[in-house]
Amino acid sequence: MTGSGIKEIAYQQEPWSILWTVLDNGDLLGFTYLREQDVLGWSHHQLGGKDVKVLSICCIPGTTQGELWMIVERTVNGATVRYVEYMSYEFKPTSPDDKTGAVFVDSSLEYIGPPATNISGLDHLKGEKVQILVDGAPHPEKTVDTSGSIVLNYPANRVQVGLGYKSILENLDIEIGAADGTALGKKKRVNKITVKFYNSMGGKIGYDEKRIDDILTRDSSMPMNQSPPLFTGNRTVLFPKGWTRELRIRVEQEQPLPMTVLGFAPIITVVDG
């Protein structure tokens, strides 16, 4: 992951112990280091927008956690711009219906006030297609007009507007063993999989970017004009991939919604051949 060379690093101690890294090509990586829990892992953070590069980073103390500040270069409305941005605080809802503080868009601004449909002050995103979260529910994407505004389809009290991005979780090839030893190189098939979520909504699951299905989080008892509550628990889905020698499971989130995956447990059949 660091093949292009490391340009700059910054350490954020709270809420998680992360060594943030900027590469020479402008990519942003995070190295989570929790030795007491045996957690050491790299993650690649693709920021929203076109031609995005992170030029510089630093971590400074915040009110309840460390803050990661960045100088970000991207193309907006055909021009190259540089913005000073910081990563939002950890999302910590107090109940399944609490979406306050759910910021999952980049270069974003927030409106809080009386019900409104006209959201202005988005001059830094003129001409860009933006993702929108209104009162805890996704809103159809809009393009910011020349005055730096968007018009919502319906009024809302709390609105998050920014550039969307896609979060992807994909495991390494699963090695579960077989009756006569290793399953490495043998044909495998996932019949179904159980995924454990924490304070999550939306998302997709599958085995590659072309064959992936929505994770249903709304049932018939939930009003269609309200945002469903955050889900904590297990979801079991069928997994019709067929036989393969390299078994990968892919979880995606491309909406401006929270998702935390605590783990997954597939039911796998292994055969020789």
Instruction: DSSP for 99-144, please give it.
Output: -TT---SEEEEEEEEEEEEEE---GGGTT-EEEEEETTEEEEEEE-
pLDDT, tens digit, 9 for 90 and up, residues 73-125: 999 999 999 999 999 999 999 999 898 888 999 999 999 999 999 999 999 99
To 5 degrees, how large is the angle CA 177–CA 180–CA 185?
A: 55
pLDDT value at residue 179: 64
pLDDT value at residue 178: 63
Answer whether residue 182 is part of any domain.
yes
Structural domain tally of the chain? 3
Of 5-19, 81-95, 124-138, 165-179, which gets the smallest average pLDDT?
A: 165-179
Q: What is the mean pLDDT of residues 172-187?
A: 71
Answer whether residue 57 is part of any domain.
yes
At 35 the three-state DSSP class reads helix
pLDDT value at residue 182: 73
Q: What is the mean pLDDT of residues 33-56?
A: 92
Same domain? 171 vs 159:
no
Answer whether residue 49 is part of any domain.
yes
Does 245 have pLDDT greater than 80? no
Answer whether residue 101 is part of any domain.
no
Answer whether residue 95 is part of any domain.
no
Does 222 have pLDDT greater than 90? no
Same domain? 193 vs 267:
yes
Same domain? 119 vs 151:
yes
Answer whether residue 97 is part of any domain.
no
Answer whether residue 93 is part of any domain.
no
Same domain? 158 vs 176:
no
Structural domain containing residue 122: 106-163
Same domain? 171 vs 266:
yes
Answer whether residue 1 is part of any domain.
no
Band of residue 16 on the pLDDT scale cut at 50, 70, 90: confident
Same domain? 242 vs 173:
yes
To the nearest whole percent, how much of the chain has pLDDT over 70? 93
Average pLDDT, the chain: 89
Same domain? 138 vs 71:
no
pLDDT value at residue 37: 85
Greatest mean pLDDT range, 118-122, 201-205, 221-225, 239-243: 118-122
Same domain? 18 vs 39:
yes
Of 68-77, 144-153, 154-163, 180-189, which gets the smallest average pLDDT?
A: 180-189
- For residue 128, how many C-alpha atoms fall within 13 Å in the half-sphere facing its CB? 27
Which residues, at least 6 apart from 160, have a Cβ–Cβ distance to it below 8 Å? 102, 103, 104, 105, 108, 109, 110, 132, 133, 256
Final residue belonging to a domain, choices 163, 193, 209: 163
Of 38-42, 109-113, 123-127, 182-186, which gets the smallest average pLDDT?
A: 182-186
Same domain? 194 vs 264:
yes
Cα–Cα distance, 148 to 93 (Å, whole number):
31
Same domain? 181 vs 158:
no
pLDDT value at residue 241: 67
Same domain? 183 vs 264:
yes
Band of residue 226 on the pLDDT scale cut at 50, 70, 90: confident
Same domain? 17 vs 78:
yes
> Given CA atoms 56, 58, 62, 64 in this order, what sign does their dihedral have?
positive
pLDDT value at residue 180: 67
At 37 the three-state DSSP class reads helix
- Which pTM value belongs to this model? 0.86
Does 53 have pLDDT greater than 80? yes
Q: What is the mean pLDDT of residues 237-252?
A: 78
